[in-house]
Amino acid sequence: MIEFRSVSASYDAETPVLHEVSFTIEDGDFVAFVGTNGAGKSTTMRLMNGLLEPTAGEVLLDGTPTTQLRTSQLAARVGFLFQNPDRQICCNTVRDELLFGFKAQGRADAQAEAKVDAIIERFGFDADAEPFLLNRGTRQLLALASIIVMETPVVVLDEPTTGLDFRECAKVMDVIAEMHAQGTTVVMVCHDMEVVGDYAKRVVAMTAGRVVADGLTFQVLRDPAALHAAHLLPPQVSQISMMLVERNAELADTAIAQANTVEAMLDAMQEQEEAVSHG
Ligand SMILES: Nc1ncnc2c1ncn2[C@@H]1O[C@H](COP(=O)(O)OP(=O)(O)OP(=O)(O)O)[C@@H](O)[C@H]1O
Ligand SMILES: [Mg+2]
């Protein structure tokens, strides 16, 4: 479980970037953080694995403040995919890249090697390829695979699909969905509302360092006030369903108005009939 309790954060003393952000992410959840550029999403992600410490409030991992956990303890619990995969790719071959996390934790043993071999097979990587010569989509998949292979209970993914084409995006998201299905808690920053609508169970929307909406995906993406507050456009399917709801409401209003008119006409006719029969 990840808990933010009134967390504020900044990169320098003068400019606060997060303002009293609070939320809880339960084990097994799939949460998407959405919002405009500079809203504080990446900052929130960095706080989750202790890359950044709060200036006020607390970030708790399974009840323990991140400030009390060692880097190795944090790394064992939270896998982290940077907004730019090239920030985390540092080895000369794909195989070394996938082994890097194990080496950093001092456990590059036969078991680790077997896990790396299995993931190379699963992703169809060329083990000896040079990571920086791979195309953007494959580098992103490699960065993701290097997190998956560590089997952390939580993964924090900062824009895992940005810059990918449709096919690459689907491939990356299928891998993430599979991880989630196997019990991994997924926290993801995403600008693509179609992807958010298709995969995330819950949405946290941020604006100017504050949480402005937090709820089930289908509710937040159909809530005009939440979308407006976070300056977001809903995915097409939500747009269509909102239009249908509005259209139905208009039709219902028209039907009620027509029924009222008919009722008034019937009343008038009845009055006329009564007047004639009495006269
Ligand atoms: N390393 C840094 N040093 C100083 N200020 C920073 C740093 N990183 C981010 N900021 C500032 O913090 C604020 C929040 O940035 P953050 O990167 O968290 O936003 P974001 O929601 O991830 O935006 P984007 O969608 O563009 O990635 C911005 O005003 C940004 O300029
Ligand atoms: Mg960001």
Segment among 63-67, 150-154, 250-254 with least mean pLDDT: 250-254
Average pLDDT over residues 204-223: 94
Segment among 39-43, 54-58, 189-193, 261-265 with least mean pLDDT: 261-265
User: pLDDT confidence of 238, banded at 50, 70, 90?
Assistant: low
Do 148 and 174 contact (CB within 8 A), yes or no?
A: no
Measured between alpha carbons, how far is 155 from 75 in angstroms, rounded to an integer?
10
Residue minimizing CA distance to atom 24 of ligand 1: 37
Average pLDDT over residues 73-88: 90
* Torsion, Cα of 204, 205, 209, 210 (10° steps): -80
What integer pLDDT is reported at residue 237 of this predicted model?
63
Alpha-carbon 242 to chain mean position? 22
**H or E element, residue 6:** strand 2-10
Q: Which residue did the predictor score with more confidence, 35 or 243?
A: 35
**Residue 150 Cβ contacting ligand 1 at under 6 Å:** no
Question: Which ligand minimizes its atom distance to the CA of 51?
Answer: 1
**Residue 46 Cβ contacting ligand 1 at under 6 Å:** no
What integer pLDDT is reported at residue 40 of this predicted model?
97
Average pLDDT over residues 14-28: 95
Residue minimizing CA distance to atom 16 of ligand 1: 40
The alpha carbon of 42 and the centre of ligand 1 are apart by a number of angstroms equal to 7
The alpha carbon of 82 and the centre of ligand 2 are apart by a number of angstroms equal to 9
User: pLDDT confidence of 39, banded at 50, 70, 90?
Assistant: very high
Burial category of 56 from C-beta neighbours within 10 Å (exposed 0-12, middle 13-18, buried 19 and up): middle
User: In this predicted model, what pLDDT tens digit does every residue of 168-210 receive, in sequence order?
Assistant: 899 899 999 999 999 999 999 999 999 999 999 999 999 999 9
**Residue 41 Cβ contacting ligand 1 at under 6 Å:** yes
Q: Is the pLDDT of residue 106 over 70?
A: yes
What integer pLDDT is reported at residue 65 of this predicted model?
96
Residue 151 carries which DSSP code?
A: T
